[in-house]
Structure 1
Amino acid sequence: MLIDAFYASDWRKAVFVGSYNVSANSLRDSDDTMPRIVNGWVVNRYIDQFQSLWTNERACDPVWKHRDR
């Protein structure tokens, strides 16, 4: 999850990553993690990577894996 908003008393860019599933089970019974990285450069790299994948039809279309054979 990417945030570019007023967060923690200041305007910030933050990224929350990890294996955490937002559910009651994850909160109480699992070893899931959700690191928070408050760093504009890191957030921009996540945005760049998303845009790169989103605009590459081979990255977003699992059917491509079978078309080239």
Structure 2
Amino acid sequence: MVQRIQNGNDDVFINQARPVTVKETCTRYSASTIQDVSGNSRLLDLVALNNAGAVVGALTEGGVARYGSEFANG
């Protein structure tokens, strides 16, 4: 809102600012994956096996090693 004040010699304009609240959201997420190098690459799981061939650990699940936000505190 702008107010105009006339004092006889010059006009004075006063701009009164109103507080504005802006709500921002971030929906940008990413994931670290392991993929093959074919033209239409597939997600790969990286697993550790024992001597008997049984899975004892895994780095990925469904080819994804890590999910997360692209921001440090997000």
TM-score bracket for the superposition, by shorter chain length? under 0.3
Q: Which structure: greater strand fraction?
A: 2
Q: Which structure: greater helix fraction?
A: 1
| Structure (1 or 2) with the larger CA radius of gyration | 2
Q: Given the two structures, how large is their TM-score scaled by the length of structure 1?
A: 0.25
